[in-house]
Amino acid sequence: MPFRSKETLERWVDEFHAARGAGELIKVIVQDGSDGSDTGLVIVPLENATVTISMEPVEVGAAAWRVTFEPQPDTTVLNSHQLHGMAVELSVAAELFAYLEARSVGHEESAGD
């Protein structure tokens, strides 16, 4: 069944970072697929907030992705400069999200590769 491995996602995130010059904190962590395959989960930590963003395909093999905002127990309180920084971080996350979806269209990778 086609999917995106952790290695593939790391390569895509590296390519995004090199092309965009942003997103140096973005990483891919191991996420075991239901069949034990090496899938990845893209993590976008925010410096200016107490939430973390994660991105993953809607389902294995799908080109569509979903983004999840993981709440933290702490409340985020920002000044105007920090809010602007958070807006920039969210803009980079949105660009990465669109990039990952675009790269996923027609991507074929088997668990045995």
pLDDT, one tens digit per residue, over 20-77 is 888 888 999 887 666 555 667 899 988 888 888 999 888 777 788 999 998 788 888 8
Confirm if 53 and 67 have CB atoms less than 8 A apart. yes
List the beta bridge partners of residue 55: 42, 67
Would you give the end-to-end CA distance of the chain in angstroms?
11
What's the burial of 6, exposed, middle or buried (CB within 10 Å: 0-12/13-18/19+)?
middle
List the beta bridge partners of residue 5: 39
Q: What SS3 class is residue 51? A: coil
Is the pLDDT at 11 greater than 70? The verdict is yes
Residue 22 DSSP class: -
**pLDDT at residue 111, rounded to an integer:** 54
